[in-house]
Amino acid sequence: MKEWIKMMLGATVRRAPAVGAEFIAAKTKAMIARRDLGSTYQSVRAHIRSTEYATGEEIRAFQLKKCKDIVQYAWEHCSGYREHWKKYGFAPEQLQSYSDIRRIPEISKEQIRDNLAGFSTKESSRCKYITTSGSTGIPLGLYLDRAAESTEFAFLHDMWEERSFCPVSRSVIIRGAGVQGGFRGNPYAELTLFGDLLLSAYHITRETAHLYLDTIKIFKPGYIQAYPSALTQLTIACIETGISIEKHDLQAIILASEKLYDKDKEYLQRFWKAPLIHFYGMTEKVILAGPCKSNDLFHVYPQYGLAEVIKEDGSEAAEDEMGHLVGTSFFMRKTLFIRYRTGDLAVKGNNYCPDCRRHYLLLKEIVGRNAELIITDDYHKIPFSMAIGSIHNKLFQGMDQFQFMQATAGNLVCKYVSHEEMPTWQKQAIETDIREKVGKHLQLSFQRVPIIPKNVNGKYSFFKSELLGGGHDEPR
């Protein structure tokens, strides 16, 4: 859709009465669905279905062929890759076996960000330009075409279909987008041109919770798509103010871009009484993983791209070992990502799921960025999710918000927002719980603050580190 047409229709939807706006948006959503769910989409869906039960050997053969194709394409069309590989003595003809894939030099986010033209094809500037959030405050820009978007939809819908997902169903979206409020009198709600309801992730409080929930009830979405932290914040605010969703038509809650903590999962399941789909994906469209019906392990789509879990020494991680996620996208042909170090850490699982019988790489946990590692005074690295993320929420009763921050090794600060100073017994209980997991090599202090701001992209971080590059940069 032409940008000027989109802007004109969007303005019409915002000005129209609610019933008229919903009618226009529904028609637009159906029209866009016909475009995006066309031949490319159908072809990819058919390919997923025909290969999902392939043997491990068949998958490796397929992935090697795709790697050869994308490497040759990059060599011919992307000067950045050609120059980068030449520095390490790599050329496409060296890629003969599956094990040779690790001979391809890795590429970093910073390298692509600083030379986008070199890692994109010449015609890419005529394509859609998007950005990801960045830990340094400088986002990564990239180009993608309509074929890449349709391919992405095909994989997402395949994943969500296990919860009876319908592409034209309406969704409530609580993510990082700015909201031009006013839909049905809610200053924090906006009906999009494509028929979904945006709710602001920045204004969720006990005082506004009823506005959010009332709008959701009126809208009657089939799905909620949200950052886990944003939806959890709304859920807790609703529980604490005594309001409930009661009957609803929700088919599922779709969560991405952040870690889903066990305690938050309990709140969401108890309040919304709808299935949760928590998946891992990236704006760069390098790796996509989601759960099967029988377990919560992340199942990596081998048709989407090649995912590797690589240790610090460059070797492949074994099962139960943690390493860096490195990925190669098979369908990004405008800005290319080949052996791209995502910046995320993961605990590797098996290459086969006995529950769904797919020979997919399993990830037992996606820890997140380096900035999600707590550093003790003896420089031992401990994932935040293991040390603090599993703390039972009762220990934080009385707090509106909290965030752990680390600026120096061995020292951790718990910042919290509360009407009153945290009592000594509560501080001791939190410290005891953390020490049981971390040991004696970490000093903990507490600091009461008036506010804990969200990130620039609307995400709320439970942990912020100024070590290892700083910040808390989440995937898409």
Any idea what the Cα angle at residue 295 is, between residues 290 and 296, rounded to 5°?
Answer: 50
Let me know: does 32 contact 300? Beta carbons within 8 Å: no
Res 474: pLDDT: 36
Handedness of CA 203, 204, 205, 208 (dihedral sign): positive
Res 414: pLDDT: 92
Q: Which residue has the tokens 């405008």?
A: 334
Res 469: pLDDT: 46
55 or 469, higher pLDDT: 55
What gap in Å lies between CA 37 and CA 70, rounded to an integer? 24
Q: What is the pTM of this model?
A: 0.76
Residue 62, SS3? Answer: helix
Nearest residue to 388 via CA among 418, 424, 432 = 432
Q: Which amino acid is at 426?
A: Q
Q: Is the pLDDT of residue 289 over 70?
A: yes
What gap in Å lies between CA 263 and CA 270, rounded to an integer? 11
Mean pLDDT value of segment 375-404: 71
Residue 273, SS3? Answer: coil
Mean pLDDT value of segment 61-83: 97
Segment among 67-71, 329-333, 392-396 with least mean pLDDT: 392-396
Res 169: pLDDT: 81
Q: Is the pLDDT of residue 210 over 80?
A: yes
pLDDT in tens, 102-131: 999 999 998 998 999 999 999 888 888 887
Q: At what angle do helices 228-240 and 209-219 cross, to 10 degrees?
A: 110
pLDDT in tens, 223-257: 999 988 889 889 988 998 999 988 778 989 999 87
Let me know: does 387 contact 438? Beta carbons within 8 Å: yes
Res 475: pLDDT: 33
What gap in Å lies between CA 369 and CA 475, rounded to an integer? 9
The share of the chain scoring above pLDDT 70, in percent, equals: 83
Q: Which of 27-31, 65-69, 259-263 has the highest mean pLDDT?
A: 65-69
What gap in Å lies between CA 416 and CA 395, rounded to an integer? 12
Q: Is the pLDDT of residue 431 over 50?
A: yes
Mean pLDDT value of segment 47-69: 97
Segment among 15-29, 181-195, 396-410 with least mean pLDDT: 15-29
Confidence of residue 4 (pLDDT cuts 50, 70, 90): very low
Confidence of residue 29 (pLDDT cuts 50, 70, 90): low
What gap in Å lies between CA 433 and CA 50, rounded to an integer? 49
Q: At what angle do helices 3-15 and 18-36 cross, to 10 degrees?
A: 150
Mean pLDDT value of segment 139-147: 88
Let me know: does 475 contact 460? Beta carbons within 8 Å: no
What gap in Å lies between CA 384 and CA 374, rounded to an integer? 6
Domains and CATH numbers, the chain: 3-36+170-250 (no CATH), 370-465 (3.30.300.30)
Any idea what the Cα angle at residue 14 is, between residues 10 and 19, rounded to 5°?
Answer: 110
What gap in Å lies between CA 171 and CA 168, rounded to an integer? 9
Confidence of residue 7 (pLDDT cuts 50, 70, 90): low
pLDDT in tens, 84-102: 999 999 999 999 999 999 9
306 or 418, higher pLDDT: 306
Mean of all residue pLDDT scores within the chain: 84
Res 136: pLDDT: 35
Nearest residue to 303 via CA among 105, 93, 61 = 61
340-348 β-sheet, strand order: 289-290, 298-300, 362-369, 340-348, 322-329, 305-310
Q: At what angle do helices 262-272 and 228-240 cross, to 10 degrees?
A: 60
What's the maximum distance between 2 C-alpha atoms anywhere in the chain?
Answer: 66
Q: Running DSSP on this structure, what letter comes out for residue 323?
A: E
Mean pLDDT value of segment 399-422: 89
169 or 82, higher pLDDT: 82
Res 183: pLDDT: 83
Burial-class residue 83 by CB neighbours within 10 Å (0-12, 13-18, 19+): exposed
Q: Is the pLDDT of residue 310 over 90?
A: yes
Q: Is the pLDDT of residue 9 over 70?
A: no
